[in-house]
Amino acid sequence: MKAPDFAYARPTTLDEALALLAEHGEDARLLAGGQSLVTSLNMRLAAPSLLIDLNRIPDLAGIAESDGLVRIGAMARHREVGESPLVRERLPLLAAAMPHIAHPAIRNRGTIGGSVALGDPATEWPACCLALDATMVVRAQGGERRVPAAEFFQGLYTTAVGPDEILVAIEMPIPSSGALWGFDELARRSGDYALAGLAASARSEGGRLADVRLAFFGVADRPVLASAAAAALQAGDIKAAQAMLGDEIDPPDDIAVKGATRLHLARVLLGRVAGRMMEAAGGA
C-alpha cells in the first residue's frame, strides 16, 4: 500500500514551520525521523493534507549544557543522543537506553523529539524523561512553554503538545553528586518493543538509595512513575518494592501477552535494577 496524496513543505526556520502549522492545523503532520509517521502514511492510518518536514531547521538540533541543564534538540537522532560525550558524562541513563531502541537503521534516523512527541508507551525515551524529571519545551506562534514530564504524557499516543505547537527541545537537570541510574527491559527479540521496561534514577546517601524515581514502560498507556515502590527501595526493601508494584501498575491483556505476565516481568526488572543500584550505593 502507498501513502495518500499530500502537499509537502520543507521550512528552514522554526517560525516558518509554526506558521504553516497554524495555517493548516490538524490537517498538517510534522515529519521528524519518519520512523512511525511514514509507516502510518503507507498503511493509510494517517492522511494529512500537508507534511511539514522539520529536518532543515537548525534551531531544533544540537545537544548542549547550560545553567545546570542538558538541552537536547528535538531533532537529535537516537544514536546522536546515546553517543554524545556530554550525554555519556552527564546523563548516562540515556546512553544506556539508546542501544535498546529498535535496530541500527532506526537509531540512525529516528529522533528523540519524534519519539517523545508520539508518546508510544512501549518506547524508551519517554520513560527516561520521566525518570530524569525532564522538562519538555513546546513552542507555538504565541510563545514558548515548558511542561514537566509527569504532565506531558497523557495517554496512549497522547501528549501535552497542542495541534499548533512543536516540541522543540527536552531539558534534563544534571544529576547531583552521588547520582545513580539503572535501565533494563525485556522483549521477545532484540529490537522488538519491550514487554516491560524500567528506567530508574537515584542518588547514594549514606550507603542507601535516596530520591529514587522508577519509570516503567510497556505496562500501561503511558510511562508510569512507581512512587510507592520507590519509597520501599529507599527503605532498603526490594521485596516490598516488588510487592507494591501490584498496586501501582495494572497492565492490560493484549494480543502479545497477558497483563499478569507484564506485571511479573516488571517485578523481575525491578529486582535486577534495584539490586545493581543498591550495590553501587553501598560501594559509593
**Residues 31, 52: contact at Cβ < 8 Å?**
yes
For 133, phi then psi, to 5°, come to 55, 50
What residues does CATH 3.30.390.50 cover in the chain?
Answer: 181-283
Query: 181-283: what fold?
Result: Enolase-like; domain 1 (3.30.390)
Q: Which amino acid is at 84?
A: S
How far apart CA 253 and CA 167 sit, in angstroms, is 32
The pLDDT assigned to 85 comes to 98
pTM: 0.95
**Which residues of the chain are modeled with pLDDT < 50?**
none
Give the pLDDT score at 283.
64
Give the Cα separation of 72 and 66 in Å (integer): 11
Number of residues in the chain: 284
C-beta neighbour count of 113 within 10 angstroms:
27
Q: Which CATH class is domain 62-173?
A: alpha beta
8-state DSSP, 77: B
Q: Looking at the chain, which residues constitute the CATH 3.30.465.10 domain(s)?
A: 62-173
Please report, for residues 24, 111, 131, 215, 272, the alpha-carbon distance to residue 281 in angstroms, rounded to integers and kept in the order given.
52, 33, 18, 19, 14
pLDDT of residue 1: 63
What are 15-46's pLDDT values in tens digits? 999 999 999 988 999 999 988 887 887 788 78
- CATH code of the region 7-53: 3.30.43.10
Where are any strands of DSSP class E within 106-218? 135-140, 143-148, 153-155, 158-159, 166-173, 179-186, 196-205, 208-217
Alpha-helix residue ranges (DSSP H) falling in 7-144: 14-24, 37-42, 78-83, 85-90, 92-97, 104-109, 112-118, 124-131
Matching residue, cell 523529539: 113
Instruction: Tell me which H or E stretch contains 8.
Output: strand 7-9
pLDDT at 197: 98
- Distance CA(28)–CA(90), nearest Å, equals 36
Where do the CATH 3.30.43.10 domains begin and end in the chain?
7-53
Q: CB–CB of 28/70 below 8 Å?
A: no
Cα separations (Å) of 239 from 221, 242, 244, 275?
A: 26, 5, 9, 11
pLDDT (tens digit per residue) in 211-259: 999 999 999 999 999 999 999 999 999 999 999 999 999 999 998 899 9
